[in-house]
Structures are given as structure tokens and as C-alpha cells.
Amino acid sequence: MFTTRRYQHCAACGERVEYRMPSDDNRERAVCTVCQQIHYENPTNVVGTLPLADDGRVLLCRRAIEPRRGFWTLPAGFMELGETVAEGALRETQEEAGARVELQGLLSMINVVRAGQVHLFYRARLLDLDFAPGPESLEVALFHFSEIPWDDLAFKTVRATLEHQRAGRPELLITDV
Amino acid sequence: MFTTRRYQHCAACGERVEYRMPSDDNRERAVCTVCQQIHYENPTNVVGTLPLADDGRVLLCRRAIEPRRGFWTLPAGFMELGETVAEGALRETQEEAGARVELQGLLSMINVVRAGQVHLFYRARLLDLDFAPGPESLEVALFHFSEIPWDDLAFKTVRATLEHQRAGRPELLITDV
Ligand SMILES: [Zn+2]
Ligand SMILES: [Zn+2]
């Protein structure tokens, strides 16, 4: 069974945890050996956008950080507490590409089970062309779909989302990579 | 800013954490005062189904546990590591209602920002009527939409998802509660 087993110590009291099945549960959890607190580990959401200019070009960012430094991606990152999926997607688009967009509907929900992640991309319309790379991007550029650097994309979820948009299918893409 | 601040101690070494902004970040995180490890806290997904019998009735569970013990809900629970959204929705439907369903498409994605959650419900078709309450349910029953106990529903996300299905709208419901 997939597990990250991130806990060696209790986040509440600092004593050792052990991985065991609580009596009312059906899988192993990090349980504190002293205060008995249970620490759950659950999948996280990565949220982003596929930003389109009015001429049909798509905005991509070349990554300045690992993993996949130097490869092209859609603006996306971990959803944070205190925001909605949509707000997180807008924030990441601003942070990574300096771009202002208008969200137009959910485009893809892609399970990345081995990473414990769900990737959620909105289709978005670029409100202007005044974008600029943020600290996590080397460059930001617009590509016609025929010009996308398909062999230099950072992640399978980015490829699947771009291919879904290129195919022009209106329905939400739900898949696993 | 919303934060759960779940960490008092480091999950890696057990020493004290402090909440401060790492140099390459823009929000406060739990940072270990000794080993410097950063512990991130992110929203979690609650996944479930709206199970429909072939006669149009919807399956609801009456909760045996807090919060909202005694109130009616759709089968749903926290998505686990090692599964997709769809697999989690099927598992919760089995665990809480003893029901076997076929998934038919994503019905709702509802942000519950104050709880740090995203609720995701699939529309589903009951494969048979051999359901039975699991340990977290007092009873499981089928309701025509006109008979749903609207005043005794457990959660706003359940109400919004049921109302969306009743309205017969084909598109994904995306909203916040
Ligand atoms: Zn403890
Ligand atoms: Zn530490």
C-alpha cells in the first residue's frame, strides 16, 4: 500500500510515533506512543491554469526549480489552506507567470497516485500580455499548439491537459498518470 | 489568514517548531528549530458519491458518528494515499453504505475553505439494492427527491450536491460553502 510515512515523531508532543491500525480504522496510521494522537496523511491538490491568449496561443513557463528544472510547464502549484481551487489556480498563475487571467471552467482532474496528488487545471483567458517570469520560472512564453515543445514538457499531467485542450473536447478530462 | 497550525513539534526529529516564513516562501510554515525541516499543511479532499437507484431514488446514510450524528448524508470521506478520487469515492460508498455502484461522472467540486477541504462527489448508479449500514452509519435508505429530509442533512456540501442533481443540470457544480 502506498504511504509516505512522513512521521517519526508526534507533531503534538514530540515523542515517537508508531505506524499501527487504530481500533476503529482499517489502515495503518502514525499514532503517538505517548499521547496517542493520530496523525493522518492524505493526498494534496496541485492547482493551475491553461492560459490562452485571444489569438489561441497557450502560455507556458520554463521551470527554474527542481524537479524538472529547464522543462516547460503550465503554471501550477500546491493548493494552500485558506483558498479555493480557483483562487489557488489564479495565485499560481500570478506567481509563476506574472499573468492575470479569467477562469473559464475546470479542464482536467488528474490523479497522480504514486505522488499522492490530484492535479486540477482550469482553462483560463489571458487578460493582457504583460506577463513575466516569477522566481520559480526561467522564462514565460506563448506557443501555438503546433509549436509546443512536446518533448520538453515537465510533467505528464501538463501534457495530458494540453492534449485535451488541443483536441477541443468540451468535457472535463478525468484520468490517472 | 486561515491556518490549522497543527504542528507544535517536528515530525522528523521531535524538537519544537516555530511558525515563520522560509526565505524562499511567502507564507508562514512550521519550521523545526533544530533540524530546520519545513512541515507543510494543505487542504484535504473529501470524496463520495450520489448513488441513484434505477427508479430515480437516491441513497442516503444517517450518520452514526460526530460531527452531525443522526443527520443524513451522502456516502463520503477523506481521500486516502494510494487511491484515485474515483477509487476513494467507491470505497467510501462501500464502507458507509455497503453499496456497490458504477461511477457516471463528476457531479460537484465544492470548496469548504474554513475546514481546509475540497468535497468531490461522483454521480453513481446503484448496481443492486443489497446495501447495509457500515460502522459509521445508523441506517441507509433510498429517497425520492421529493422525500429527502432536507432539514436533517448533515452538511451544506451534501445539500448543494443533491440540489444540483435534482435540478438536472448536466454540468459540473463548482461552488464554495
Ligand atoms: Zn504525542
Ligand atoms: Zn526537526
Instruction: Pick the closest to residue A157 from A171, A173, A139, A143 (CA basis).
Output: A173
CB contact (8 A) between residue A106 and residue B174:
yes
Query: Matching CATH topology for B1-42 and B44-176?
Result: no
Q: How far is CA A142 from CA A110, A147, A163, B92, in A?
A: 24, 9, 16, 43
CA distance B49 to B174: 15
ipTM value? 0.95
DSSP state of B17: E
- The pLDDT of residue A5 is 81
Residues of chain A with pLDDT under 50: 1
**Residue ranges per domain, chain B?**
1-42, 44-176
CB contact (8 A) between residue A42 and residue B40:
no
CA distance B172 to B107: 5
Query: pLDDT tens digits for B81-96?
Result: 999 999 999 999 999 9
Mean pLDDT of B56-67: 97
- Average pLDDT, whole number, for chain B? 96
Cβ neighbours of B16 in A, within 8 Å: 14
In the predicted structure, residue B2 carries a pLDDT above the cut 60: no
CA angle B172, A41, A65 (to 5 degrees): 80
CATH number for the segment(s) B44-176: 3.90.79.10
In the predicted structure, residue B1 carries a pLDDT above the cut 70: no
Residues of A with CB under 8 A from a CB of B: 1-4, 6-16, 24, 26-27, 39-45, 78-86, 95, 106, 109, 111, 113, 116, 118, 135, 172, 174, 176
CATH topology classification for A1-42: Ubiquitin Ligase Nedd4; Chain: W; (2.20.70)
- The pLDDT of residue B3 is 56
In the predicted structure, residue B6 carries a pLDDT above the cut 90: no
Query: pLDDT tens digits for B141-177?
Result: 999 999 999 999 999 999 999 999 999 988 999 999 9
Which among B4, B9, B81 has the least Cβ separation from residue A10?
Answer: B9
Cβ neighbours of B24 in A, within 8 Å: 135
Instruction: Give percent of chain B above pLDDT 70.
Output: 98
- The pLDDT of residue A1 is 45
**Closest ligand, as measured to the CA of A35:** 1
Query: pLDDT tens digits for A133-157?
Result: 999 999 999 999 999 999 999 999 9
Residue A75 CA to its chain's centroid (Å): 9
